[in-house]
């Protein structure tokens, strides 16, 4: 019994983080499935915005770029449609959940969350632009790039943002361990 108590005590921060992540996921699940998804406006806005920003990114290089709602074309033969699952909303909520669950001050969260959301949206726009270029120049590679490569890079960015938060979020949380042989403080 003492061993179990010691394990719980020594891993308190981890269990607290996991508990907060489960709570954040539960709140998001209820909020999204019961309100945001049936309403549809947030997904529609984000999908059409990502399509518009992707078109704006490519327009200087392709004068045939056309944006129509959720769809972006470089030419009438090569285009992508931004589905709800590809608009980045789930990644945005995952990022916010990480930041809220991980230790840090609320003042720093208030600064870091919007900057992280912008970075994730920008990454998604670049991902969509790359997918559009692949559909135009190498359509046989589209499924591979869409299914793994672009998604992998997308989640690496989220992971790097989380690592940045772990180092910046809570001031004074990264104390140096005592030197070997040093007397413990009483």
What is the DSSP code string of 90-141? HHHHHHHHHHHHSS--HHHHHHHHHHHHHHHHHHHHHHHHHHHHHHHH-GGG
pTM: 0.78
Could you tell me the strand order of the sheet in which 66-68 lies? 66-68, 71-75, 78-81
Q: How many angstroms separate the CA atoms of 105 and 75, rounded?
A: 48
Q: How confident is the model at residue 90 (pLDDT cuts 50, 70, 90)?
A: confident
Extents of the domains making up the chain = 40-168
Q: Residue 135 pLDDT more than 70?
A: yes
The region, left, alpha or beta by phi > 0 then psi within -120 to 50, assigned to residue 26 is alpha
What is the distance of C-alpha 29 from the center of its chain? 16
Q: What is the pLDDT of residues 93-130, one digit of tens each?
A: 889 988 988 888 889 999 999 999 999 999 999 999 99
Q: Which residue has the tokens 């959301």?
A: 117
- pLDDT surpassing 50 at residue 176: no
Cα separation, 70 vs 52, in Å, equals 8
């Amino acid at each position: 019994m003492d061993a179990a108590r010691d394990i719980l005590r020594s891993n308190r921060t981890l269990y607290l983080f996991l508990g907060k992540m489960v709570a954040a996921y539960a709140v998001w699940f209820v909020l999204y499935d019961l309100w945001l998804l049936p309403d549809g406006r947030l997904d529609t806005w984000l999908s059409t915005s990502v399509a518009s920003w992707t078109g704006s990114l490519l327009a200087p290089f392709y004068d045939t770029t056309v944006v129509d709602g959720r769809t972006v074309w470089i030419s009438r033969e090569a285009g992508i449609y931004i589905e709800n699952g590809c608009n980045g909303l789930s990644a945005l909520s995952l990022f916010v959940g990480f930041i809220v669950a991980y230790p840090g001050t609320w003042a720093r969260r208030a600064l870091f969350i919007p900057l992280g959301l912008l970075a994730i949206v920008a990454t998604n726009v670049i991902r969509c632009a790359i997918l559009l270029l692949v559909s135009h120049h190498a359509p046989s590679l589209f499924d591979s790039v869409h299914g793994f490569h672009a998604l992998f890079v997308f989640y690496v960015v989220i992971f790097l943002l989380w690592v940045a938060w772990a180092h910046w979020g809570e001031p004074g949380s990264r104390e140096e361990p005592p030197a070997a042989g040093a007397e413990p403080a009483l």
